[in-house]
Amino acid sequence: MKNLMQRLTTLRLAKHVLGAVGGVVLMSVGTTASATTLADIFQVADQINQAAIRSQTKIDALTEETRRLLSEYKTVLKEIEGLRVYNRQLEKQIANQEQEMSDLAESIDKVTIIERQITPLMLRMIDGLEQFVGLDMPFLMKERQDRIDRLREMMDRADVAVSEKFSQVFRAYQIENEYGRTMETYGDTINIAGTERKVDVLKVGRVALVYQTPDGEETGMFNKNTGEWEPVGNEYQASVRQGIRMARQQATQDMFSIPVHGAEAAL
């Protein structure tokens, strides 16, 4: 802006100089008209024209420079306005970020409180799960107990996040729930009338838990009422064998019969 004002001042001085030169020219012509020849007059006129041309050239240059500076000034004004708009937008973003930081700090404080409350809850959930497995039908007992032991070990680890701990405990509950909807078979050693026997166990949801010896000669079931394994009649031999093959995906899914004890009568 300062440079522009200096250019405008120079332009005004040039116009005054041009006017002064014109006045000198008129005086010179009047003086020499009586003392010089016509050639001298032409020479002076030519000099005056050359001076006028140089002055006009300077004026044109100053005018162009003034226009350029004015254009730059307008461009700078636009940039300043753009920066003001940008700064206002940044101020809004900074305000939003400060609010988010405040909300995040509040959430962190709440998480700390939740962690203090959820850890005892998870321990109670593991205790409840272990109690449920102990009261449930005795299928896949080693697998289920190992899962509970891993959960207890995980709860003592500082390198496992609370969210991961809760996820694992919740997943253990989901697995136990899925047992009620699946049919599977596995090999196990069970106590039958005081004798340890290796058998193939067939679990049908939580409806029935039956067994059959590998040679197929003995078939039996887990009696929920007595909590004991006991043999059943030979009428279930072929059906239980078919159920075991179906659970192993060695036979097409189909209907089959299994022995089921009813609830114990109330006294």
pLDDT tens series, the chain, 267 aa: 545 455 545 445 444 444 544 444 444 444 444 445 777 777 877 888 888 888 888 888 888 888 888 888 888 888 888 888 888 888 888 888 888 888 777 776 676 777 778 889 999 999 999 999 999 999 999 999 999 999 999 999 989 988 899 999 999 999 999 999 999 999 999 998 888 999 999 999 999 999 999 988 899 999 988 889 999 988 999 999 999 999 998 988 888 888 887 654 333
4 neighbors 73 (Cβ within 8 angstroms): yes
Other Cβ atoms less than 10 A from the Cβ of 249: the count is: 8
pLDDT single digits (tens) 35-89:
457 777 778 778 888 888 888 888 888 888 888 888 888 888 888 888 888 888 8
Of the candidates 188, 123, 127, 199, the one whose C-alpha atom is nearest the C-alpha of residue 162 is 123
Residues 6 or more apart whose CB falls under 8 angstroms from that of 221 comprise 208, 209, 210, 211, 229, 230, 232, 258, 259, 260, 261
* Backbone φ and ψ of 253, nearest 5°: -60, 130
Average pLDDT value for the chain = 82
Domain boundaries, the chain: 2-89, 184-261
Token pair of 260 as six digits? 């089921």
Q: Does the pTM of the predicted model rise above 0.85? A: no
If you search the block for the tokens 């058998």, which residue do you land on? 199
**DSSP β-ladder status, 208-212 and 195-204:** antiparallel
